[in-house]
Structure 1
Amino acid sequence: MAPARDHRTPDDLPAAVLWDMDGTLIDSEPHWMVAETELVEAHGGVWTRDDAVSMIGSSMDVAAARLRERGVDLSTAQIADALNTAVAAAIAAGVPWQPGARELVEAVAAAGVPQALVTSSYRVLAEPFARAVGLFDVVVAGDDVTRPKPDPEPYLTAAALLGVDPRACVALEDSVSGLASAVASGAHVVAVQLIAPVDPPAGVSRTTTLRGVTLADLARVASGQLLDRRAA
């Protein structure tokens, strides 16, 4: 049974909310950074925090190419397997939700608004998370698309699977490539600046945390208003 909507009419709400996963919903980026560092160092290379931050939101193909530049003598498939295995093991102890993220996902679900998980992570990581949460109608993972972020294909695919117009959706992202993907899809976009510095284009809402962001805020974003919740 679908969750009951709140007092707002459907026209007051986004057609759907499209979520990035790593960094936006869950604090998994530190695990990716550790996994990348350990893999590069195991092959005799050096991987700095700046290197790791620059990879936030990148597709596995892009990340693998950079890691090979630093001496990792493995194929993209082998690198993906090594990183996914390490990150999955780190997250297995419990979902590391970003502050306010779980509450907002639950509020959106309670209002009956469809939600999609749109991530550069492979399905081997995205599917267990989505299954544990149980509130996403659609999952679009990095290995589900031909052209990953920053191309709009992931967000356009999610909207198509949900049967909604992307221009009536709200997408939440924390990386440069993710923001480019979401903006190009036509969705209303909220940039969540948590780890990686982002400089979103005009017309993109901003926040430094999901704590305190409400369904009403997302409704305003969907109507074309801008949200600015950056820390002073």
Structure 2
Amino acid sequence: MFGRPPLVPRSGAVLLPRWLGIEQQRQLLHACREWARGAAGLHRPSMPDGTPMRVRSVCLGWHYSLRHGYTRTTVGADGTPVKPLPGWLADLARRAVVEAAELDDEVCGRPRDHKADAAIVNFYDDEARLGMHQDRAEESGAPVVSLSLGNSCVFRFGNNETRTRPWQDLILHSGDLFVFGGPGRMAYHSVVRTLPGTAPAELGIRGGRVSVTVRETGLTPNLPAQRSR
């Protein structure tokens, strides 16, 4: 009846449930579908050994791949220039960091200075998952902002040192905001599984889950490529 309260699973990490209302979720989902179309659109990323991943992705601002790191063209996909990151999405990410820092000031020392320049939009079907990993290809230590749409998922948020325990499993629902920075910025994390049939009916989505992860890379704008680490 009273909804889910905000959660700080560890220092520097904040979960704000239903941060986006249904209409905002619809608008963001529509934008994701538009980004998925045409050149530099939806593609299936690969593991470093070339094995295709189950998720499908669209990158904005900078293209990211596990084999090539950050590039300005969609290396490993169709090779075209990456689509720009919309200013409104960077502004949304900044607001997210500001509001998360109000709950835990370890998220970011200067939240209003957050300058997102890249986003990865992941499309999950009912079988897709994402293994334990760190977001460590960025030069900037600014917080990572993640928004969920569609079906819920089991999100595993771990420690900074290993892929093993201790970790905490969280349920991310459509509209939820998860921000991690400061001492939690280098935590290993994963999507253990999605939960089919849990998308809000008002969203009008048939199935699947979409995550929009926005970040500040700290990379030089005219840099042609950046190796992954």
Task: Give the structure, 1 or 2, with the largest relative contact order (CA under 8 Å, sep 6 or more).
Answer: 2
Same fold judged by TM-score > 0.5?
no
TM-score scaled by structure 1? Answer: 0.31
Larger strand proportion, structure 1 or 2?
2
Larger helix proportion, structure 1 or 2?
1
Larger radius of gyration: 1
